[in-house]
A and B are shown apart, each in its own frame.
Chain A
């Protein structure tokens, strides 16, 4: 068994013990994320992408794909994926990694010299945020920020004053190729979408086998079987796309592969959420039934870091404006692990 298999098995065990639907609900309704975070931190997951010389596990993005997927399939309500990547970027840049959890965000300068981050994903439960803006990269503590709740209950808009921004040290993060912070986030969300898609599919399959109507399981009806077949196709394709997004030896993904990953997973999210609710009927629509923990995330993560149309435009620009000849050749470069689009 390889190092990354051991790692993902450990993550699965921990999440199944500590990230139960009850605990997800507790944090979503305002409970403290600190206990859950401590379990993850103590087990070493947050340093998975940090080089071994700096005390991490030294894994690549491809090697933590399973763990990222698990964050999605357990609806993990703390920014583990983001923290893993933020710490690796900071350590690679020679900066002390922040304690506790760290979200990612694009910021914009306000008229008075402060910094505003609209819609920080998991901004309500993160301890700090790695922000990219015109003023460079900064690690800013959430406790200092003015926080405004956002549409998804764990997200928030965060604002820091000019004084706070000056007090925070600027960090010198260098991203290879055409990667930007949205690309990083999209890569992580595609992998988490893949996990959530699987979770929704498995629950729906189980329900179709268990639920009896007209004297037999509803999964015996061809109409239901075909809906499940279509769901499975989307889950299957989204997972392959998400793996592409995380492929490569390093910790920084390649932008075109991320475009494929996030676009495909976002398209799948819409179909799978719709069919899962259709097959579950009214029970799937209740607060107490766990399906909603995942289908609400399918929609939130489809929106996070660019929907399918955003990434279609990005991929289309590669294909139309920067590529000549057969589309096959760009498809091959994107799917062949030995190739790179960013030489």
Chain B
């Protein structure tokens, strides 16, 4: 059986699906006053208070064991939550990385002390994490990172620089991929992951303004930062393997399908009005829908494999590349629909949302692995020798 017919239709288990009504009732109230162009930021939106409220309701770190503050629920429970958050455009950026990957990473590779320290804070929405991977000269070529943590009598001394680190200016901790032994030429060997408390002396965080005017990603400088001995997470030299294991989780979730969904729903609301209804718009709605539905089925099927402990890395890359293509198609075709009409009377909120999503759409296929890197991975995974 090849990768391409390895996924079969599957459904979210009923006990996990049962979470939906509760979270939806909360979200309908919580985001009611937020305009669509703000909701469109969704996992790019930052609201620490909102994250703590989710924590109070037991919706952060829901897959983590109860003894660390989680709910010991299946990954499908988290899938349902995330699907609702994204479709409502809830501002989930603060806790996003901690909930999606830092928590599970610490659970998998952390010492007992690390688990007891970090995981309950993550579940309460009190510890926000960012991912320190890219550097000025290590983007798609991640193995060429130069930041280095050198052991000393008090732990490690960290020097170097990270860039494009989302929400670093608001986060408490960074899990950074750094060199702990060997040289840059050793590539994947000698890399490790360290947890960096961003309040330590010697750390400078500088936000970078993006083309839409938001400042969500940052430069982070490390100047002789003294890390404690327990900053290392997992094995010394095991950083590359740990980072790649995270990727299947990172690439196939609902956030790779629904980045433009707030815009799509806002446009649909207009198309359902007498002024907005045209045969061309109805057809276009169907074009987007018939792309999203199979993608959602694929994403659920990949999730099912992850839940069973498999590592469907190629399948996840396929979902991400296709999903981000649809996410990018949505603003392009909606703009064409709205501005191919005789009348230019389009609701302002819809236009603001369209404008925002159009501006940020290029990032959909950059974050989490660029399109070209993914396609290379897919090709090799499919058996191109």
Task: Mark A residues whose CB is within 8 Å of B.
Answer: 198, 201-202, 205, 208-209, 217, 219-220, 222, 225-226, 228-230, 232-233, 235-241, 243-244, 247, 259-260, 263-264, 308-309, 311-321, 324, 326-328, 330-332, 334-338
In angstroms, Cα B318 to Cα A198, docked, is: 15
Interface residues on B, range: 35 or more
Listed residue (B83, B265, B286, B321) with the most chain A CB atoms within 10 angstroms of its CB: B286
Closest residue of chain B to A262, judged by CB? B290
In angstroms, Cα B280 to Cα A317, docked, is: 11
- Contacting pair A237 B289 (CB below 8 A): no
- Contacting pair B282 A228 (CB below 8 A): no
B361 at the interface (CB under 8 A from A): no
In angstroms, Cα B296 to Cα A334, docked, is: 10
CB distance from B323 to the nearest CB of A (A): 10
- Contacting pair B384 A263 (CB below 8 A): no
Closest residue of chain A to B276, judged by CB? A320
Which chain A residues lie closer than 8 Å to B293 at the CB level?
241, 244, 260, 331, 334-335
Q: 6 closest Cβ contacts across the A-B interface?
A: A316-B286, A315-B286, A225-B379, A312-B286, A229-B375, A316-B282
Which chain A residues lie closer than 8 Å to B296 at the CB level?
331-332, 335
- Contacting pair B383 A225 (CB below 8 A): no
B275 at the interface (CB under 8 A from A): no
Closest residue of chain A to B378, judged by CB? A229
- Contacting pair A217 B385 (CB below 8 A): yes
CB distance from B255 to the nearest CB of A (A): 13
Closest residue of chain B to A201, judged by CB? B4
B214 at the interface (CB under 8 A from A): no
- Contacting pair A315 B289 (CB below 8 A): yes
Which chain A residues lie closer than 8 Å to B282 at the CB level?
313, 316-317, 320-321
CB distance from A180 to the nearest CB of B (A): 17
Listed residue (B7, B11, B287) with the most chain A CB atoms within 10 angstroms of its CB: B287
B196 at the interface (CB under 8 A from A): no
Which chain A residues lie closer than 8 Å to B284 at the CB level?
312, 316
CB distance from A257 to the nearest CB of B (A): 8
Listed residue (A229, A312, A326) with the most chain B CB atoms within 10 angstroms of its CB: A229
- Contacting pair B289 A228 (CB below 8 A): no
B283 at the interface (CB under 8 A from A): yes
Picked from B261, B279, B321, B375, the residue with its CB within 8 Å of the CB of A328 is B261
CB distance from A210 to the nearest CB of B (A): 10
- Contacting pair A320 B268 (CB below 8 A): yes
Which chain B residues lie closer than 8 Å to A222 at the CB level?
376
CB distance from B78 to the nearest CB of A (A): 16
Which chain A residues lie closer than 8 Å to B231 at the CB level?
none
Which chain A residues lie closer than 8 Å to B87 at the CB level?
326-328
